[in-house]
Structure 1
Amino acid sequence: MNNSALSRHGLERRHAQLQELQRYLQTQESEFHELHSQLTAFVDRYAATLGSAYLELDALESQLHTATQYLADALRRNGIDARTPRAPQATALPSIPKLPAAAPLPAEPTNGCIDLPPPSLKTLYRRAAMRLHPDFASNEHERQRREQAMMLVNEAYAAERRGQLEALLLANGEDPVKVTGGNADALRNWLSRCESSVQGRLRVVQAHLIALQAHPMHQLWQAIRRAETIGLDPFSVMIQRLQSQISERRQELYIGQRLQPEPGLAEDFLRRRIERMGASIGSI
């Protein structure tokens, strides 16, 4: 078997491997999109079930901050060293990471694998002369350009600088296959670029899939699914917990708006507020 046949067989094998890698990439992307769709649906359900309660709790926390800020300012005006509790953070819906768009693969060289030996130096010279000879010029400006080009062609041929002849031919529109021979090298280069691109994309997809599986909302979703499977209603428990917090904040707000800026109760109220805000978590 000649080297050309070996080259063709190797290229065909690599092409098949590239297609197999692309199919695996597609399954990984499909897995990500399916999980992303399911997780997004759960987040929508979460927001629809608990969103209004979180909004009410956020509004009460904001009013409480205003009341405690006013109380701290009044205490300081009375000569009492009073700290102001930190501002509450509004509850925000979690962000589910999306998969970035993939870059297109480079275009495949046309005509498949062409078995053609490189032309001789004399053949390259003749082709350059046919393309660049001044007698084929259509006007004086073109004739001068061709004369300059033919000087370079003659110099390259005389010095047996094949690379320079090839570059001149390619720059003037000659078919690359007719200049350098078969396109096996071009195909190998294309395959290498495609393999690198697909492997890079696969790493991106797998990293995003792992991040999605480790997302706090994914873990919560799985926990709620397990609880609902055995007949529990975790969302009801969560709503009751939020309603309990809302009742506590209403009572706290009622007291905070009516306290007088005097030592004792007002200072204790501020201290407890500062402690609670330091331990609170301001996200869903």
Structure 2
Amino acid sequence: MLPEEQELSRLETDQATLEERVTTAELELETLKVELSQFQYRYYQRPGRLYAELDDWEARIAMVEAGMHPDDVDAQFRAQAAEEQARRSAEEAGTIEKSPFPPPEITPETKQAFRKAAKLMHPDRATTDTERERRNVMMAKVNRAYESGDLETIEKLIVEFGQDPEAIQGDDLGARMIKAIRRIAQLRRRAEEIDKQLSETQSHELYELMVTVQQAEALGSDPIGDLVQEILRQISERKIKLEMMTLTQEPIGNVLGV
């Protein structure tokens, strides 16, 4: 084997290794997005809704207190802040409730199909702007299908895309080496992008909460159930507090004898 052929073989081996790494990372990123979506839905179906209700009671109390002390700037500010928080919580809860069904579980078959599609039609495999745009459109469709657990659509997209033009052999040795070098550079850039996206996603509060809940559940605990009970207790307290304030129309400290 000529030295040039040996170098090409090495480059193509490196390329194949990087392609496998990028495909695996793409799958990890998309799967993480789905898992976070599932957890978010689950969370807002229970404590999320109750937090919105708790914030609403807090806002009501703050408004009554502001009415009792019209000249108290701090009381007015607290009322406005509580009202804004209640509005945001209600909007968040409403956004989740617009989706009547939780995101689906991703099956091993769907993951395998995604890997196949990503290897076949990833935009970084394009050699022209037109081909890159075509691949971007197709991968966007694949990502949407994956997030909804739609294996059939992913398989149809693979067939629709057809055989990868980059797989055609017969180029001269020099051209193949240049193509491999450029492809390796593209793959390295994409790997860095995915690593950054994964890092950003894993630093999000929702991800940290999901991991904490999963770890507790693995030990047999029910952290979400415990949280629900605690929020219900707080809601009950706020209801009693507001009722006492409304009945007396006096500062809550006087009502409680504080």
Structure 1 length normalisation: TM-score? 0.53
Residues 68-103 of structure 1: CA distance to partner in whole angstroms, max 9, x if unpaired? 333332xx2xxx7764233122334799xxxxxx64
Question: Distance in 2 between the 1:82 and 1:25 partners?
Answer: 54
2:234 maps to 245
Question: Distance in 1 between the 2:253 and 2:69 partners?
Answer: 8
Structure 1 runs not aligned, ≥5 long: 96-101, 116-183, 270-284
Matched-pair contact (CA < 8 Å) for 1:28–1:205: yes
Matched-pair contact (CA < 8 Å) for 1:106–1:193: no
- Amino acid in the other structure paired with 2:77: P
Structure 2 runs not aligned, ≥5 long: 97-121, 128-165
- Please show how residues 194-233 of structure 1 align to structure 2 within 5 Å: 194-233=183-222
Alpha-carbon deviation of 1:258?
Answer: 4.9
Partner of 1:104: helix, strand, or coil?
Answer: helix
Matched-pair contact (CA < 8 Å) for 1:25–1:198: yes
Question: Distance in 2 between the 1:45 and 1:109 partners?
Answer: 43
Are residue 85 (structure 1) and residue 77 (structure 2) matched? yes
CA-atom RMSD in angstroms: 3.6
Structure 2 length normalisation: TM-score? 0.57
Matched-pair contact (CA < 8 Å) for 1:109–1:190: no
* Partner residue of 2:4 out of 4, 7, 16: 7
Matched-pair contact (CA < 8 Å) for 1:8–1:113: no
- Amino acid in the other structure paired with 1:68: E
2:17 maps to 20
Between Structure 1 and Structure 2, which shows a larger proportion of helix residues? 2
Given the superposition, is the C-alpha separation of residues 267 and 231 from structure 1 closer, same or farther in structure 2, using an over 3 Å criterion? closer
Number of aligned residues: 185
Matched-pair contact (CA < 8 Å) for 1:22–1:198: yes
- Amino acid in the other structure paired with 2:172: I
Answer with 1 or 2: which has the greater Rg: 1
Identity, in percent, stands at 23
Residues 110-162 of structure 1: CA distance to partner in whole angstroms, max 9, x if unpaired? 764437xxxxxxxxxxxxxxxxxxxxxxxxxxxxxxxxxxxxxxxxxxxxxxx
Given the superposition, is the C-alpha separation of residues 70 and 22 from structure 1 closer, same or farther in structure 2, using an over 3 Å criterion? same
- Please show how residues 8-157 of structure 1 align to structure 2 within 5 Å: 8-73=5-70, 76=71, 83-86=75-78, 87-88=81-82, 89=85, 90-91=88-89, 92=92, 103-107=123-127, 112-114=170-172
